[in-house]
């Protein structure tokens, strides 16, 4: 009981107060996850969004505080940090330009967090995700169980949504299993995905063709929304996905999520981050769950790992690691 009474409020720092950052702050406060510090390099944006959000709390009686800042001094001793800092790809921008710019930003963020919040749990969202989470971990030197990349939870949520559209079943009774990188090299596992407990391939009406269509649409999930919005990318579902991961850590829920996690031999991979099923609890990544994969599934996961190795090689070539 004493422990319970001593429960302290978590301090959550959001590095990047853009489209996703603002929604992370809103969802963190609505779930009562902790006090929020919204950080950005742009003057005024984090302060304005935090003040506006704070003014929303009396309406529904939320008890957490919010501040916006441009100073890392306010991020000091954060318990959990979610990073969306970066710039989205602009038309005509090369992959290298994007990687160069975002790697510079991630290096700056990692260096500052190492100084002000060396014990924080960190969830990286910035793209190219698999490279950015790897870069963060290398530059910050944070323990591998404390650094998580968010992509798989979003990809699985998209897949579950498409399955719900197709079957008319509530998303609450649909689970989807995805591994690997974010985007093209994603590896969905229909045989480990369920509708009401029935494996996807056995669910009435879900032909292999329909399943493949949904897989393709999930793989292109980000691009589909970018094409519709024209300026910017998805932000509601990415924010909800990262908040679910943060909640599992902060409340020690021990949920299973697909997370871009550091491998030290698991699935045969070493020294890279890739999307795998993990248990998230008070120690961050409590465990990487090693499941049996068919030769075909392992080959697809290896392709994902190769893509991540390619991004690592780019980071090396651009002298970031
Ligand atoms: O599933 C996933 N991981 C992806 C990730 C899903 C969707 C979006 N994906 C990526 O997240 C996207 O490609 C971007 O790289 C990030 C953030 O997306 P968001 O839509 O929030 O981008 P914004 O609105 O441009 O916000 C980025 C903010 C912006 O306010 C900048 O001023 C700020 O980042 N920024 C910085 N903050 C802190 N420190 C530095 N150096 C910095 N530079 C820019």
Ligand 1 centroid to Cα of residue 144, in Å, is 23
Which phi and psi angles does 309 have, rounded to 5°? -60, -35
* 273 part of the active site: no
* Ligand 1 neighbourhood includes 140 CB (under 6 angstroms): no
| Pair type for strands 178-180 and 186-188 | antiparallel
- Dump pLDDT digits (tens) for 158-202: 999 999 999 999 999 999 999 998 878 899 999 999 999 999 999
**Which of 20, 106, 122 is the best mutation target for the ligand 1 pocket, counting ligand atoms within 8 Å of the beta carbon and taking the most?**
20
Give residue 2's pLDDT: 47
Report the SS3 class of residue 36: strand
243 labelled binding-site residue: no
Asked if 314 and 97 count as a contact pair (C-beta separation under 8 A), the reply is no
Question: Which ligand 1 atom sits closest to the C-alpha of 241?
Answer: 1
Give residue 7's pLDDT: 67
**The two structure tokens encoding residue 18:** 């853009």
Please tell me which residue in 11, 146, 160, 182 is annotated as part of the active site.
182
* Ligand 1 neighbourhood includes 304 CB (under 6 angstroms): no
Give residue 182's pLDDT: 84
264 labelled binding-site residue: no
Ligand 1 centroid to Cα of residue 290, in Å, is 31
Q: Which residues of the chain have pLDDT under 50?
A: 1-3
Ligand 1 centroid to Cα of residue 46, in Å, is 13
Give residue 6's pLDDT: 55
Which phi and psi angles does 124 have, rounded to 5°? -95, 135
Ligand 1 centroid to Cα of residue 14, in Å, is 11
pTM for the structure as a whole: 0.97
* Residue nearest atom 1 in ligand 1 by C-alpha distance: 151
Question: Which ligand 1 atom sits closest to the C-alpha of 105?
Answer: 41
Q: How far apart are CA 121 and CA 106, in angstroms?
A: 16
Give residue 1's pLDDT: 39
* Ligand 1 neighbourhood includes 88 CB (under 6 angstroms): yes
Give residue 183's pLDDT: 72
Question: Which ligand 1 atom sits closest to the C-alpha of 238?
Answer: 6
Question: Which ligand 1 atom sits closest to the C-alpha of 127?
Answer: 15
The interaxial angle of helices 221-229 and 152-167, nearest 10 deg, is 80
* Residue nearest atom 23 in ligand 1 by C-alpha distance: 18
Ligand 1 centroid to Cα of residue 45, in Å, is 13
* Ligand 1 neighbourhood includes 206 CB (under 6 angstroms): no
* Ligand 1 neighbourhood includes 21 CB (under 6 angstroms): yes
Ligand 1 centroid to Cα of residue 80, in Å, is 17
* Ligand 1 neighbourhood includes 125 CB (under 6 angstroms): yes
Number of alpha helices (DSSP H) and beta strands (DSSP E) in the chain: 11, 14
Taking alpha carbons only, the member of 272, 307, 317 closest to residue 96 is 317
User: What was the ipTM of the complex prediction?
Assistant: 0.99
């Amino acid at each position: 009981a004493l422990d319970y009474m001593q429960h302290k409020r978590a301090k959550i720092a959001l590095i990047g107060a853009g489209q996703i950052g603002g929604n992370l702050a809103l969802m963190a406060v609505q779930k009562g996850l902790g006090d929020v510090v919204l950080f950005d390099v742009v003057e005024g944006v984090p302060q304005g969004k935090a003040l506006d959000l704070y003014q929303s709390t009396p309406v529904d009686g939320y008890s957490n505080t919010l501040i916006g800042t441009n100073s890392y001094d306010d991020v000091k001793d954060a318990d959990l940090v979610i990073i969306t800092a970066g710039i989205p790809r602009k038309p005509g921008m090369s992959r290298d330009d994007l990687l160069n710019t975002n790697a510079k930003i991630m290096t700056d963020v990692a260096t500052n967090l190492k100084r002000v919040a060396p014990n924080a749990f960190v969830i990286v969202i910035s793209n190219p995700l698999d490279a950015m989470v790897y870069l963060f971990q290398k530059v910050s030197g944070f323990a591998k169980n404390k650094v998580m990349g968010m992509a798989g939870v979003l990809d699985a949520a998209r897949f579950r949504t498409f399955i719900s559209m197709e079957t008319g079943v509530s998303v609450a009774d649909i689970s989807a299993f995805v591994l690997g990188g974010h985007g093209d090299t994603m590896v969905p596992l229909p045989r480990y995905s369920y509708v009401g407990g029935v494996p996807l391939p056995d669910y009435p009406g879900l032909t292999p063709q329909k399943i493949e269509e949904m897989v393709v649409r999930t793989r292109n999930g980000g691009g589909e929304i970018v094409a519709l919005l024209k300026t910017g990318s998805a932000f509601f579902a990415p924010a909800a996905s990262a908040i679910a991961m943060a909640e599992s850590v902060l409340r020690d829920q021990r949920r299973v999520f697909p997370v871009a996690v550091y491998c030290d031999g698991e699935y045969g991979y070493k020294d890279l981050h890739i999307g795998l099923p993990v248990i998230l609890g008070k120690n961050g990544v409590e465990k990487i769950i090693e499941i049996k994969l068919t030769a075909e599934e392992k080959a697809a996961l290896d392709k994902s790992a190769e893509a991540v190795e390619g991004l690592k090689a780019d980071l090396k070539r651009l002298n970031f690691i």
